[in-house]
Amino acid sequence: MHARLERRLAQTPYRARRDDAHTSDRPTDRAWTRKAPPPPDATLGVVTPKSPVLDLFIGRHGAAWRLYVAPTSWKPELLRRQMNERGEIFPVAEPDVADLDRMMCNAHAPFERRPTMDGGVEILAHGRSAKVVLLGWLAGILGGLGQGR
């Protein structure tokens, strides 16, 4: 009985090549182990937020106004269609900050805004607030302008 068992263990495993028979039954062999998936990138959560983040700046450019979209900002079709490769839309209507405040208050949509000395404004809105800014207020500033692009 012992001879038969030793002879069976010495044989090449099923579907293995004869020249690699000495390594095919080791658990460390490539045939027996799988590659572990690469670890998730720690910065991925920072780069791709779970909800949209709208980061805009509207500033004076001579007698006109220019809108800048931050590189990390959410860029829906309304913005992408009109902005250039540097994330700028020119010209846009003068920003009515009082109208923006009123609309965001009525929608119960918190956001951050920082006015500039020349009447411009920087806007940062997250999630639902970003959509309210985009669809409610920003669409009015962009409406009708940039149609010839």
Give 32-75 pLDDT, tens digit per residue. Answer: 555 666 666 555 555 555 789 999 999 999 999 999 999 999 99
**Span 103-134, pLDDT tens digits:** 999 999 999 999 999 889 999 999 999 999 99
Give the pLDDT band (50/70/90) at residue 147. Answer: very low
The whole-model pTM stands at: 0.62
Q: CA angle, 95 as apex, 126 and 84 as ends, to 5°?
A: 70
Q: What is the pLDDT of residue 71?
A: 95
Please provide residue 89's backbone torsions phi and psi, each rounded to the nearest 5 degrees: -125, 125
For the chain, count helices (H), then strands (E). 6, 5
